[in-house]
Amino acid sequence: SDLYNVILCVGWAGVLTKIALHYAKGGDVTTVYPGIRELLVVSQTAAVMEILHAASGLVRSPLGTTFAQVFSRIFVLWGGLELGSKDVTQSYFVTQMVIAWSLSEIIRYSFYAINLIKGKVPAFLQWIRYSAFMILYPMGISGEMMTMYKALPYIAEKQSLSISLPNRYNFAFNYYGFVVVSLALLYPLGTYVLYGYMLSQRKKVIGGAKKEKKE
């Protein structure tokens, strides 16, 4: 809905503003996360609704790409940042990642909100929506991967989110191994799919608009 888009646009703008004010006041990269944590957790976790929206047909976004994008961020947020390692939360890569997330979401949610409310989006916002990802995706994805890479020693030491045998369900899960596989295989594959999807959308939307003008 338009209210959902407006609320999350404001939420991500708040995250970005907090980062800007932190640095404007002479804050250090190691102390960014505590100041943005609560708003970031709420704004990003709320995006789970988008998987439900895509699955129910409420929006036209493909379920696969929507799930991949939302899951990767939830994975980094709850399976990396929120585990409790200061080596992770004090990293420069967290700031890089969250700035990329914030800019992407401000653009995306404002695009959706204006489209729903007015029925048409200004040309400049449409261009930004289908162009900014070329910089913001690599910036965000590399930040996510480095954040999870930095979390590996902590995950190995604490056995975070792992399930060991014996247990009543006779089930084991090695979270450290899952993260390694994700970084080595799932992230490269997911990046290829998401980036390819956005490039095709850009060609269709911006290319189509140019074709209409010529005609």
Name the active-site residue from 105, 109, 112, 144.
Answer: 144
Where the chain has pLDDT below 70, the residues are 1, 208-215
pLDDT of residue 83: 95
Rounded CA gap, 215 and 213, in Å? Answer: 5
Q: What is the pLDDT of residue 209?
A: 55
Give tens-digit pLDDT for 36-85: 999 999 999 999 999 998 998 877 788 988 999 999 999 999 999 999 99
For residue 137, indicate whether it is catalytic. yes
Compute the mean pLDDT over every residue in the chain, rounded to the nearest whole number: 93
Give the pLDDT score at 18: 98
Is the preceding omega at residue 166 within 30 degrees of 0, hence cis?
A: yes
pLDDT at 119: 85
Q: What is the DSSP string of the chain?
A: -HHHHHHHHHHHHHHHHHHHHHHHTT--GGGHHHHHHHHHHHHHHTTHHHHHHHHHTSS-S-HHHHHHHHHHHHHHHHHTGGG--HHHHTSHHHHHHHHHHHHHHHHHHHHHHHHHHHSS--HHHHHHHTTTHHHHHHHHHHHHHHHHHHHHHHHHHHTTT-B-SS-TT---B-HHHHHHHIIIIIHHHHHHHHHHHHHHHHHHHHHHHHHHHH-
Catalytic position from the list 4, 137, 149, 197? 137
